[in-house]
A and B are shown apart, each in its own frame.
Chain A
Amino acid sequence: MILRAVLGLAMLVVATVAAPGLRAQAPEAPIQHLLQEHGEIIAKSSRRTIGPAIEALATSGLPEAQVVLERWQAKEMWFHEETGLFVFAEEVDRSTIKIFDIADGSEIGDVPDDDYKQLKPNSGIRGLIGGALVQFQLSDPNPRNRMRALNAIERRPEAGHLAALRGAMEGEDNPAIAARKARLERLLTMEFDESEEARIAAIEGFAGDLGVDVRAVLNRMVATRRGAAAEAPEGADIARLLTPGSEDLSLADAYGLLVSAELAAPRISRDAKRAALVANIENGSVAGIEVATLGSEGARDLAYAALAEAGVVEPVATEAQVAEALEAHVFFERYVAAPPGVAQAAQVALGAIELRLGLNEAADLALDALSLASIYFLAAIGLAITFGVMRVINMAHGEFIMMGAYTGYVVQLFVSDYTLSILIALPLAFLVTFGAGVAMERLVIRWLYHRPLETLLATFGISIALQQLAKNIFGTQARPLTAPGWLDGSLVFNDVVSISYIRIAIFVLALLFLALFLFVMNRTRLGLEVRAVTQNPRMAASMGINPDRINMLTFGFGSGIAGIAGVAIGLYAKVTSEMGQDYIVQSFMTVVVGGVGNIWGTLLGASLVGLLQKGIEWMNPSNTLAAQTYMILFIILFIQFRPRGIIALKGRAAEA
């Protein structure tokens, strides 16, 4: 205290002597006093050394500290080069600045900037200042600033924030912010509180919490460092022992630990060995061994050993020594981020959270799979009619999906309201593809009934022609089909489980189509006639049904549904001329796996294919291509065991 007073006095003397022309700047003001104490490191402005200065300002309890920090951060603080006194300043013109008193902000006057130097904190220092400012912002009257401060703490929590946060919790009137403050306080307590009991209590308070923030903190707390020792170490901070050569610790890493703990001699990499040999070539030989013979690792090892013997290079461990050293030591992981008791509590809590997390992830996966299944179902339901009921292989089915999607795109070109345009696009897509389907049935397919292979090829010809046609008309780049605003966003259950509204809409659409299909097939005159014609066309004809007309309408109906599916799929994926291709093989798979001729089979097939694909993706998340490969492999094998699909038609229906 005395020292400080003496120092302050000395400053005062220096200031008055050195700057006689300037109006007194109240260097005795406590804030200036404090700054002067750290004047050197502030002027030096280095991120590594600035810490104590900011700390002192933040914890000073001075009312001006916040303003000083803010203006320092905004590069508005200058100092006099001789006296070192700090002022706020604004540039008036290129060589003049207007300076203000640092304590009360009162204007001092315009001065030439030759004597003053601006403090230019770099981004690292500005970050530190920002951290220190947080405590002031936590009690800021503007709720937005308080929220921002909370975000800042969450991004980079520090021990110092804990006290500030606790201080700012009282008197918080906004319930949402109060809740966030309380949660953040528990998180900080968990990580930084001085009392272990308090930390453990905080950890236990979060049992089963799925928040990403909790997991992040806990993961930081259970951080471990690997070590090696000759004896098994005692102590509670040992997280676990490791076996070299296991999945967690490779032999090379284990030996690396020994080397870095100076428990064993280093090994030498192939490159370093080669470099050492090259450096010691004399007259075409290394340690008496001809260079030309050094074309194998064994020969190089010998040469290196000879060099080591001659004392030219450091000796290195041989394989046998390495194995011996690994054998002789134990390897362990040690908690480093928290005291052992706390770390263990964190580990237990993390284990419990991960179990719940696993369950929730499974639920999320199931939702994903369900939505994928409904997409496949939508894509396949048209096929369930044309292929399942009529037994016509339509390889252009995917192109009908594409036509539906492009119909939606074209409608959106003319109708800018997205809700309205989708409402127009759905029936229009049905009409367009219904027409295309009827035309195709009349022109091509009806000549090829009972010749499925030819149908397959002819429809394929149509498929490639349609695809190229779409490319010629719409170009090769993807076209957007925008969903209405109320389908944006997703339904969030918690941090893990969520599903986007578009996927829900597609799911609902799939259910609607299932109902429509069942209604048309089982409850209408058309459905009755369709079933009659597929079972026995001649008998149906003699009952007064026109099989040609029924076939035409059925095919049109199936194609029309493909068009509507196209609009739905276009909302979820991009519209390209090749989008149909992405679904055609999967759609056929869906129908075949489910069992031809049965809509429930198609539903089951879609669920199976969707579940399977998501399941495989979950096991190998980095690789959706591999997931599709394995799924196709699975389906090929599945068909071995149930060639007629999950629900196989029996009796006469199977022969139709």
Chain B
Amino acid sequence: MSDLAIGAAPRRPFVARHPSVLIFLALLALFTLGVTILAEGFGIGVISTSFVKTLGKTLCLCLVALAMDLVWGYTGILSLGHMAFFGLGGYAIGMWLMYARTELIVIESLSAAPLPPTPDEIRDGIANQIFGVVGASELPPIWAVAHSLPLQLAAVVLVPGLLALVFGWLAFRSRVTGVYLSILTQAMTLGLALWLFQNDSGLRGNNGLSGLQNLPGLGGVPQSTVSMWFFWGSALALGLGYVLCAWVVSGKFGSVIRAIRDDEARVRFLGYPVEAFKLFIFTLSAVIAGIAGALYYPQAGIINPAEVAPIASIYLAVWVAIGGRGRLYGAVIGAALVSLLSTWFTGGQAPDLDLGFYRIQWVDWWTVLLGLSFVAVTLFAPKGIGGLIDLITERRPPDRHGADLGPEPGALREQEADAK
């Protein structure tokens, strides 16, 4: 808000206005360096390859949480469908990984035949390998460009981007807001998941795409090295994504989208094209989510339609809310903390809690705890974990003498802004 007030004063450099960006980047670099030294691939091998993958995946989840924060925390659109974009990015890259690797296998097996293989034979062989499991033997049309890495990389950005653009245009144009929009986005991701679940969708139904951890043509490179490459890639993407998001939410543009969050009608009356702003943020965040997905699934190794089910997107909202929405580092903290804790608890590593009359096994009870702590955060700490940072920096909210920050239902209220 202070940006508006000092609009006339000479602008200080971006980094100076947002010291948190530098701090975040420094911490991220330190973390990456630490993991590199400790991991098997290039360092002393204290951290196992599978844990490096978990950390790399967590970085991707942080990136998609950033996107969610952008769209929800800053613009006030509670999208319950962002994991759909994340999954679409994963499917886009997964198609190439699977196709290219199968192609190598098929060519190798055909090279033993007396005649050199024709392109048709190779194509049929690939289709049989990939789709034998769903009882088809032809490549569906959506695999038309699966052989080309650049085109599938473009799809990572374009498919989620276009879906978000069309969906957002339809939704914002007809002024669907608030909870209605949330339900609509949830319906979108449910529809997508149901579509992917069919065998006719051409993406192997509920089998999903698998074997994505193996890079085509790099069979000789050990997974410990590949995992480090993806870890670095994820860290780089997170760093760039953080800077991009920080840049988007700073300055005049950032002020407008926060104003939309607090009182959409008032911004519209001031002459801003609210729909265009929302659509831009929605599409941008979908693209970021798609890129995060494209980095996540090669580390996970498998993608199936359950990954885009509505529940996944709601967990995304849970992370951002627990971390603290409306601040970028909050989203990152929430995603990292909750997803790592989830892995720890559901992985069966957490020690059972003996209450004397009942033994709590965290594999069963973690979700209950998560759900309840989420309720608690919503009720008692709307600012999430990020609110703790305010205690250190002693950031003071503006005093509005008890008035609401916006008249619309769902706008921040004075008590909330004051709550520490």
Contacts and interface: CB of A to CB of B under 8 A. Distances in A.
**Are these two chains actual partners, yes or no?**
yes
Interface of A: 270, 274, 277-278, 281, 291-297, 300, 393, 444, 447-448, 450-454, 456-458, 460-469, 471-472, 581, 585, 588-589, 592, 623, 625-626, 628-629, 632-633, 635-637, 639-641, 643
A464 B321 contact: no
A453 B375 contact: no
A633 B200 contact: no
A194 to B, nearest CB: 47
A275 to B, nearest CB: 10
B370 interface: yes
B409 A297 contact: no
A291 B114 CA distance: 8
- Ranked nearest first, the 6 interchain pairs of A and B with the lowest CB-CB distance are A465-B371, A461-B374, A632-B191, A468-B367, A295-B116, A464-B371
Interface in B89-145: 114-121
Given A453-B410, A469-B368, A639-B180, 8 more contacts: A294-B116, A444-B379, A456-B182, A457-B378, A458-B374, A462-B375, A472-B368, A639-B184
B382 interface: yes
Given A291-B114, A625-B197, A458 B379 contact: yes
Given A448-B379, A623-B200, A636-B170, A296 B119 contact: yes
Contacts of B170: 636-637, 640
B183 A628 contact: no
Interface centre among A296, A444, A626, A636 (most CB of B within 10 A): A636
Contacts of B186: 585
Most interface-central of B119, B186, B191, B409 (chain A CB within 10 A): B191
Contacts of A466: 371
B195 interface: yes
Interface in B297-314: 310-311, 314
Given A295-B116, A296-B119, A632 B78 contact: no
Contacts of B171: 636, 640
Interface in B188-203: 188, 190-192, 194-195, 197-198, 200
Interface string B361-378: 000110111111111001
A295 B107 CA distance: 12
B187 A632 contact: yes
A590 to B, nearest CB: 11
Contact of A456 (B179, B184, B190, B369): B179
Contact of A457 (B116, B190, B321, B373): B321
Nearest to A464: B371
A457 B316 CA distance: 11
B317 interface: yes
Given A452-B179, A623-B198, A636 B115 contact: no
22 contacts: A274-B115, A278-B115, A291-B116, A295-B116, A295-B118, A300-B115, A454-B382, A457-B318, A460-B371, A460-B374, A461-B373, A462-B371, A464-B370, A464-B374, A585-B310, A625-B195, A626-B195, A632-B187, A635-B187, A636-B188, A640-B173, A641-B174
A633 B192 CA distance: 9
Nearest to B72: A453
B307 to A, nearest CB: 16
B118 A297 contact: yes
A475 to B, nearest CB: 11
B287 to A, nearest CB: 21
Given A278-B114, A585-B310, A623-B200, A452 B364 contact: no
Contacts, number: 159
Contacts of A641: 174
A393 B195 CA distance: 27
A451 B176 contact: no
B173 A468 contact: no
A628 B305 CA distance: 15
B362 to A, nearest CB: 11
B188 A592 contact: no
- Output the residue of B171, B200, B371 with the most chain A CB within 10 A: B371
B115 A294 contact: yes
Given A626-B195, A635-B187, A461 B318 contact: yes
B178 interface: yes
Nearest to B183: A588
Given A458-B379, A461-B378, A468-B364, A452 B410 contact: yes
A592 B183 contact: yes
Contacts of A448: 378-379
Categorize the interface residue count of chain B: 35 or more
Contacts of A460: 314, 317-318, 371, 374
Given A452-B409, A592-B180, A640-B170, A633 B191 contact: yes
B120 A297 contact: yes
A629 B194 contact: yes
Contact of B188 (A281, A465, A588, A632): A632
A468 B187 contact: no
Nearest to B409: A450
B116 A468 contact: no
Interface in B37-53: none
Nearest to A298: B118
Interface string B60-89: 000000000000000000100000000000
B252 interface: no
B181 to A, nearest CB: 10
Given A452-B179, A452-B409, A585-B310, A291 B115 contact: yes
B268 interface: no
B134 to A, nearest CB: 13
Nearest to B80: A456
Nearest to A471: B364
B306 to A, nearest CB: 12
B11 interface: no
Contacts of B364: 468, 471-472
Nearest to A293: B116
A361 to B, nearest CB: 24
B420 interface: no
Contacts of B120: 270, 297
A451 B409 contact: yes
A448 B321 CA distance: 15
A468 B379 CA distance: 21
Nearest to A292: B116
A468 B375 CA distance: 15
Nearest to B77: A453
B318 to A, nearest CB: 7
B43 to A, nearest CB: 38
A628 B191 contact: yes
Contact of B194 (A270, A295, A456, A632): A632
Contacts of A626: 194-195, 198, 200
A297 B186 CA distance: 49
Nearest to A297: B118
B18 interface: no
B365 A472 contact: yes
A473 to B, nearest CB: 10
A83 B379 CA distance: 100
B175 interface: yes
A464 B367 contact: yes
A585 B311 CA distance: 11
A453 B179 contact: yes
A277 B365 contact: no
Contacts of B115: 274, 277-278, 291, 294-295, 300
Contacts of B368: 465, 468-469, 472
Contacts of A294: 115-116
A636 B183 CA distance: 10
A613 B186 CA distance: 18
B206 to A, nearest CB: 10
A265 B305 CA distance: 49
B176 A457 contact: no
Contacts of A295: 115-118
A636 B178 contact: no
A293 B182 CA distance: 59
A229 B410 CA distance: 76
B256 to A, nearest CB: 20
